[in-house]
Amino acid sequence: MKFGVVVFPGSNCDRDMHDALRHDLRQEVVMLWHKDSDLSQFSTEDCIILPGGFSYGDYLRCGAIARFSPMMQSVIEFANAGGRVFGVCNGFQILCESLLLPGALLRNANQQFVCKNVFIKADNDEIYKIPVAHGEGRYYADDQTLAKLEANGQVIFRYCDENGKITAEANPNGAINNIAGICNENRNVFGMMPHPERACSEVLGNTDGRQIIKNLLMAGQLVGLE
């Protein structure tokens, strides 16, 4: 598997993602500029990643301008053909703006930027400690969309406490149903607000992010995680 990391003006987690994949997880990584559009070097067995940051300064709405970049047109086609696409934080916002994922990310309920470690529970009940850093991370969807997500098992992460209990107190941004991450119906497009790439290095004292990337994207193929 090969990874492509898209770089937008205002991306600030692209190198974090690159280093986590290449140095911590020992994977092949290619940096992709937003004005380019060629994804011919990738197959649908590979993965394109939209990193965190403030694409185009978030001047209109988070992810709204990035959605129209030449590279995103190719990413949309890649995803519709079955290729894996993973968006983190601002990348999650871009996926929702691009309609590759349903719903929207709204301003945090407390109207403040939040930057801290949180706990999230995966749909297999595994609990991870992962950093968040966002001001517009409150996931929202209408009742019909939310019911469909829940019925299809598309909610892949929820905010919880360290014991895995899903509570309002454990929710850092007011996201509906404590949702921290979702996928599409075909389970090849994934988005989450927490930053797994910031929890991949032993130097940082937390490698929970490695397991998240493995479980979501690698189907057991990731080197060096046993």
Assigned domain for 101 exists? yes
pLDDT of 226 over the 90 cut: no
The residues carrying an active-site annotation are 89, 195, 197
**What is the reported pLDDT for 218?**
64
More confident residue, 214 or 72: 72
Assigned domain for 135 exists? yes
Assigned domain for 226 exists? no
Assigned domain for 31 exists? yes
Assigned domain for 149 exists? yes
Give the range of the structural domain holding residue 169, as residue numbers without chain letter: 2-218
Q: Which of 54-63, 88-97, 127-136, 177-186 has the lowest mean pLDDT?
A: 54-63
Assigned domain for 183 exists? yes
Segment 146-175 shows an average pLDDT of 97
pLDDT digits (tens, 9 = 90+) for 89-117: 999 999 999 999 999 999 999 999 999 99
Mean pLDDT (the chain) is 94
Q: How confident is the model at residue 222 (pLDDT cuts 50, 70, 90)?
A: very low
Assigned domain for 164 exists? yes
Of all residues in the chain, the percent with pLDDT exceeding 70 is 96
Q: Are strands 47-50 and 28-33 parallel, antiparallel or unpaired?
A: unpaired
pLDDT digits (tens, 9 = 90+) for 207-221: 999 999 988 876 544
Are 154 and 123 within 8 A, CB to CB? no
**Which of these, 213, 215, 225, 224, lies nearest to 5 by C-alpha position?**
213
**What is the reported pLDDT for 217?**
74
Segment 132-160 shows an average pLDDT of 97
Are 53 and 14 within 8 A, CB to CB? yes
Reported in sequence order, the residue ranges of 141-224 that DSSP labels E, i.e. its strands, are 155-160, 179-183, 189-192
Q: What is the CATH number for 84?
A: 3.40.50.880
Assigned domain for 20 exists? yes
**Which of these, 26, 28, 30, lies nearest to 39 by C-alpha position?**
30
pLDDT of 39 over the 60 cut: yes
**Domain count across the chain:** 1
